[in-house]
Chains A and B, each alone.
Chain A
Amino acid sequence: MSPRIRVALLALSGLILLPCAASVIAGLPAFGSKIALYGERINAITPEARHVANMVSAINFDLRGLDTLGEEFMLLAAITGTVVLLRGHRGEGITGRAMRRPGRAVIPRSEATVLACRIAGPLTCLFGLYVVLHATVTPGGGFQGGVILASGTLLIYLGEGYSGWRDAIHSHWLDALEGGGALLFALCGLVPMLTGAAFMQNILPLGTLRDLFSGGLMLVENLGVAMAVTGGFTQLFLEFMEETREAEEPDEPGEESA
């Protein structure tokens, strides 16, 4: 199909779909007028029923926890697919050296970069931990905090170079973090069943509202998600960065160290 025919087809289908979309938009409630009843009821009931302040975490980890379990395994599957595709092609051979493209100069890192990364890296990780731990109290949670933690590890690469990054980050740990997080989440669903409760029923003490230890089982699930997201995203960074190296030519003197 030539590009011109394709654009013509797209325009044709757009012309057909435009009135449909317009009628759907006209039928929606006016922006900002009201919200769905389900959300309204959750806002009204959940703070008393689950003792948590953050409704989004309550939905993700308790009210619709089963959906999050599915999402968790979707995450695991996507990252496994990425790793398998890249590693299947490249092999398991891993060296700690970064290779250099011929003809491209290696610019030594300035001391300011190293200093900034050494200051910002631990602070970023601390902030990520804060966001993870306060999932049920303030905005945040395992997904957001996990991504912040994973990006904190990238600052190691920026500050210490490739070999320093590889010294700090071990692929096996990331596998364990990612799989262990998903396992922890699944166990949070199964363990209550051993006690005779329903799947993923919140059997732990709920704590008090606005306290760090509120929400019971949600805290454990949140920890599992944080582990899986941190491990998964760092694994993605690692695999993509491995892809830039050329392990087949080990005699290339390309050590990237300043």
Chain B
Amino acid sequence: MSVLPYAVAAWLFGIGLYGIATSRNFIHLVGCLGVCQSATYVLLLGLGYRWGSIAPIFYDHPPGTPAVDPVMQALVLTDIVVGATLTALLLVLTVQAYKRGGSLDPEKLRPMRAGDKPGQSRGSSQVSDGGRQAS
């Protein structure tokens, strides 16, 4: 029982990694990365927890009451904020990969070369590629 949170963290990381390795879609891949990242939340909060302690906020309880580890909570907060912006950045890269390659499949990702035509891209993506080809 006392190792259950750590086992959950390891399991979350494992299934996230499995998802990343077998992914056939970039958006699915970014989601799997999020699952991997949530393993770190579970691990950090599990490490900082102590039975019978309060949250590390001494408003209702006087200072000196046993509280859980505030460093871990600050780390998780940092983790979540940076994770959210990095997810946005990765999704933007997904959008760009789709515009250039016409596919969301990581298997079909090819190296970019100067002068390449944007593959089987659809919709608006063909119109707006002029600047890239001119360079």
* Chain A interface residues (CB < 8 Å from chain B): 3, 6-7, 10, 14, 21, 25-26, 28, 30-36, 38-40, 42-44, 47-48, 53-56, 58-60, 64, 67-68, 71, 74-75, 78-79, 81-82, 85-86, 89-91, 137-139, 141, 143-144, 147, 209-210, 229, 232-233, 236, 239-240, 243, 246, 248-249
Most chain A CB within 10 A, of B14, B18, B70, B92, is at: B70
A176 to chain B, nearest CB (A): 18
Which residues does chain B contribute within 8 Å of A239, judged by CB atoms? 92
Which residues does chain B contribute within 8 Å of A210, judged by CB atoms? 59
Once bound together, how far apart are the Cα atoms of A138 and B56, in whole Å?
Answer: 10
Once bound together, how far apart are the Cα atoms of A48 and B89, in whole Å?
Answer: 41
- B4 proximal to A (CB < 8 A): yes
Which residues does chain A contribute within 8 Å of B95, judged by CB atoms? 86, 243
Q: A36-B69, A43-B70, A85-B93 are contacts. A60–B77 as well, Cβ < 8 Å?
A: yes
- B57 proximal to A (CB < 8 A): yes
Once bound together, how far apart are the Cα atoms of A99 and B21, in whole Å?
Answer: 37
Instruction: Please give 9 more A-B residue pairs, beta carbons under 8 A apart, in addition to A32-B50, A35-B48, A48-B63.
Output: A25-B10, A28-B47, A43-B56, A55-B56, A82-B88, A138-B59, A143-B81, A229-B81, A249-B124
B22 contacts A3, CB within 8 Å? yes
Q: A25-B6, A28-B47, A85-B96 are contacts. A56–B81 as well, Cβ < 8 Å?
A: no
A71 contacts B3, CB within 8 Å? no
* Chain B interface residues (CB < 8 Å from chain A): 1-7, 10, 14, 17-18, 21-22, 46-51, 53, 55-59, 63-64, 67-74, 77-78, 81-82, 84-86, 88-89, 91-93, 95-96, 99, 107, 123-124, 127-128, 131
B25 to chain A, nearest CB (A): 13
Main secondary structure of the interface of B (DSSP, over half): helix
B124 contacts A248, CB within 8 Å? yes
Which residues does chain A contribute within 8 Å of B17, judged by CB atoms? 10
Task: Point out the residue from A21, A39, A58 that lies within 8 Å of B10, measured CB to CB.
Answer: A21
Once bound together, how far apart are the Cα atoms of A78 and B47, in whole Å?
Answer: 29
B55 contacts A30, CB within 8 Å? no
Once bound together, how far apart are the Cα atoms of A147 and B80, in whole Å?
Answer: 11
B59 contacts A56, CB within 8 Å? no
Once bound together, how far apart are the Cα atoms of A18 and B21, in whole Å?
Answer: 17
What are 6 of the A-B contact pairs (CB < 8 Å)? A21-B10, A31-B1, A39-B72, A56-B73, A60-B78, A71-B81
Which residues does chain B contribute within 8 Å of A33, judged by CB atoms? 2, 50-51
